[in-house]
Amino acid sequence: MCIKKLYQVVLCSALMCLLGSCTYGHEVDLSLRHGKLFLTFDGGKPTSVASLIVRELSAKSHMVWELKSVDYNGRELKELGYGEVPSGMTQRAAAEPLRIGQLYRVELDAVSGMGHEEFVISPEPTNGQTNQATILRE
């Protein structure tokens, strides 16, 4: 009787570990090119994106952009420019302009897991000019 109970506990634990390990942590890399924010997923590998949200993090945090896949299997994306709406996705909240100095959070919900990144767009003075910017990760 004791061995049967132990077998059930081990089997149950193994099943919980197996089911709990089905999710995968996705990477979200950010870059600025020609003044536009680009999001690259998993180092440029195709990622089945179910939804993507960019939030402003502040006392009154709100969503500044949201995309959702029209297909339950997600939309395979390697990279996405801020404000772009690729085929197979719908925009649930239009992209608002990003502000320098504001803390933001990108939240990726992919078919196989989730990922996120927080960032601030900071002015980068070059030769006394401030029309360039860099991304600072928080």
Give the per-residue pLDDT at 87: 95
Query: Does position 13 have pLDDT exceeding 50, yes or no?
Result: no
Q: Give the CATH architecture of domain 24-137.
A: Sandwich (2.60)
Give the per-residue pLDDT at 35: 82
Q: Which residues contact 56 (CB under 8 A, 6 or more apart)?
A: 62, 63, 64, 102, 103, 104
Give the per-residue pLDDT at 132: 57
Residue with tokens 């570990």: 17
Give the per-residue pLDDT at 83: 96
**All structural domains of the chain with their residue ranges:** 24-137
CA 49/CA 80 separation, integer angstroms:
11
Query: Does position 4 have pLDDT exceeding 70, yes or no?
Result: no
CA 46/CA 111 separation, integer angstroms:
12
Residue with tokens 């239009």: 94
Query: Does position 36 have pLDDT exceeding 60, yes or no?
Result: yes
